[in-house]
Amino acid sequence: MKKLVLLALLAVSSIQAQKNVVKVDLLGVLLENTQLSYERVVNENSAFELSLRYQKIKGSLATLSNETEVNAIGVEGKYKFYVFSATAAPKGFYVAPVLNYSSTSLKEAGKSGDVSSFGAGLVGGHQWILGAFSIDVNLGGIYKSVDVSGDIVSIELDGLLPKFGLGIGFAF
C-alpha cells in the first residue's frame, strides 16, 4: 500500500505544473559562498527569480594576510523570459536581465573597510525540471560598478565581468 501511495504522489508531482522553484548555487557552495534562490512563474513564458547570498571567510585570500576576515551579503533579481520551449515556464531555455547588489566588509589587523557593488547584465540559460527536482545552468555577462570606503585603498573591478551559475533545487 505504501508503494502505491508513493507512486501516486510521484505521478501527480510530475503531472502538476510547477510554479515555484527553490534552489542553491552549486558553484557558490564550492567557493564557500551560499546563494539561495526562489523562482516564481509569472505566466506561461516568464518567471521572476530572487537570490540572496552570504559569504564569510577567515583566512588567506590571494594578496591578503592570514588574519583577514571577509563578510559579504548580496541580493540579485532576474526576470526570465522562456523562449524556444515547447513547455511552459519554468522549463527550457531562457534569457534574463539581471540586477544585483552586494556589500562586503573586510577586517584585518585593526583596519577595516567596505566594498559595495552594483551590477546589471544579461544571462542565457536552461532549466530542466525532472519530477520535483530542478537543474539550472546559465552564462552571461554583467557590468559591475564598485565603491570602496574605510582603509581600503582601491579595488579595480569596474567593468564587464563574466557571470555563470549552476543551481539545483526543488520545484513545486
User: From residue 73, how far is each of 60, 121, 133, 152 by CA, in Å?
Assistant: 19, 19, 27, 18
> Is pLDDT at 96 greater than 60 in this prediction?
yes
Residue pointed to by grid coordinates 534562490: 37
**Mean pLDDT confidence for 99-104:** 95
- Quickly count: other Cβ atoms within 10 Å of residue 9's Cβ: 11
pLDDT greater at residue 95 or residue 32: 95
Q: How confident is the model at residue 2 (pLDDT cuts 50, 70, 90)?
A: low
Q: What 3 state SS string does 36-78 have?
A: EEEEEEEECCEEEEEEEEEEEEEECCCCCCCCEEEEEEEEEEE
Task: Walk me through the domains of the chain, giving residue ranges and CATH numbers.
Answer: 2-171 (2.40.160)
pLDDT greater at residue 61 or residue 89: 89
> Is pLDDT at 36 greater than 90 in this prediction?
yes
Cell reading at 15: 503531472
Taking the model in full, what pTM does it have?
0.80
How confident is the model at residue 14, as a pLDDT?
46
Range scoring the smallest mean pLDDT among 44-58, 112-126, 130-144, 146-160: 146-160
